[in-house]
Structure 1
């Protein structure tokens, strides 16, 4: 992939675009759960933000794998990459737990404009995890 003048940069752009879509959508949803823009109904925002985040992940993950595959041995030992993978795993685990827990009753608490503490905790964890993944990703080239 490195031999091609355009393939590696194209895959890198796809990876960045996917992460922007993922993190931007999730951050918007998480910030709402944490109290920003209380006038926006949580269920309505979720109907838009979550599918966009999933699309973003479906673009970022395979592109990231291709980027990793070009230099797997050296990248796997990079502490920034290891941190990024930890943060992505934390973000995914948090999303699964959120969908198994607060998500199931969101129609109830979303209708009365109340966000339970467990949902706020999940939102804060999500923001930290995905921000960490972005920071780790940027630091790969420097460590």
Structure 2
């Protein structure tokens, strides 16, 4: 499978499920998972985007340890995709606007917890490797993305 096929699979799962599991690592080396509302932007196919509050624990963890993993699954659990990459926090207003436009309708929970729409940063994850697992077929595929 080519890199573009893997990217297409990620886009399809994000579009269908509207959620992904983001894993970061804390200062003691322990992993932390949380459900996020991600997006991919057409002009930037090798990146996954989400938003967070700049003072959140995940933001601190990303600042201190940029290696992260995203997990996406189909609603019937017949496809699971894991994405390894490096995340950075971006405060660029234009990128914030673009990401909010892509995921805004799916952020109901986020806005209940984070009421200040100006107090956000973009989590930008550059995709380094993708692993696809098809449990019903017991098939696995792995690809580094360059």
TM-score by length of structure 1 reads 0.23
- Between the two structures, name the one with larger relative contact order (CA 8 Å, sep ≥ 6): 1
- More strand per residue: 2
- More helix per residue: 1
Larger of the two Rg values belongs to structure: 1
TM-score by length of structure 2 reads 0.23
